[in-house]
Amino acid sequence: MFSHMTVGANDLTMMGAFYDAFFAPLGITRFMTDDESGIIGWRRDTAGSRFFVTIPFDRQPARPGNGTMCAFEGGSRDAVDRAYQAALACGGTDSGAPGLRPHYSPTYYGAYVRDPEGNKVHVVHRGA
């Protein structure tokens, strides 16, 4: 359904390290870094959706959107836990520790963090 998602950044180096660590347990890897354009991209496979971090095109300071969140599928509850811990270890902040969210469904297991620039990201596993 989605082609790609993009969030703005003021510090590409910091955000690159954060998302490299956050995505590793999810099997998502960096596929591009363009320092001249100010963009970094990640994907799970060559045909799938992509996630980008970029310096805003208007060169104004990046800021997180109110009510905006990017969510990523974890392959297991363990992957959710590991992504959450990696995010915290790389400058992210807690926005909801890993756990069941039965108000979504009985097997919905997720965690919420803010990246170093304040963007809200979520990792979820739907299943036992």
Which tokens go with 10? 């003021």
Show the domains of the chain with their CATH numbers: 4-57+68-126 (3.10.180.10)
Q: What is the per-residue pLDDT for 55? A: 95
Q: Please give the C-alpha separations between residue 55 and each of 16, 36, 41, 58, 72, in angstroms, as whole numbers.
A: 12, 10, 12, 9, 22
Q: What is the per-residue pLDDT for 2? A: 80
Q: Please give the C-alpha separations between residue 13 and each of 20, 39, 49, 115, 127, in angstroms, as whole numbers.
A: 11, 10, 22, 13, 35
- The model carries a pTM of 0.92
Each residue of 79-123: pLDDT tens digit?
999 999 999 999 999 999 999 999 999 999 999 999 999 999 999
Task: State phi, psi for 84 to the nearest 5 degrees.
Answer: -60, -50
Q: Are 115 and 87 in contact (CB under 8 A)?
A: yes
Q: What is the per-residue pLDDT for 9? A: 95
Which residues are CB-neighbours of 59 under 8 A, at least 6 positions away? none
Q: Is the pLDDT of residue 43 over 80?
A: yes
Q: Is the pLDDT of residue 48 over 90?
A: no
Burial of 25: CB neighbours in 10 Å, binned 0-12, 13-18, 19+: buried
Q: For helices 12-23 and 77-89, what crossing angle results, to 10°?
A: 160
Each residue of 62-84: pLDDT tens digit?
999 888 999 999 999 999 999 99
Share of the chain above pLDDT 70, in %: 99
The confidence band for 46, taking pLDDT boundaries of 50, 70 and 90, is: confident
Backbone angle region of 57, left / alpha / beta, with phi > 0 → left and psi within -120 to 50 → alpha: alpha
Mean pLDDT for all residues in the chain: 95
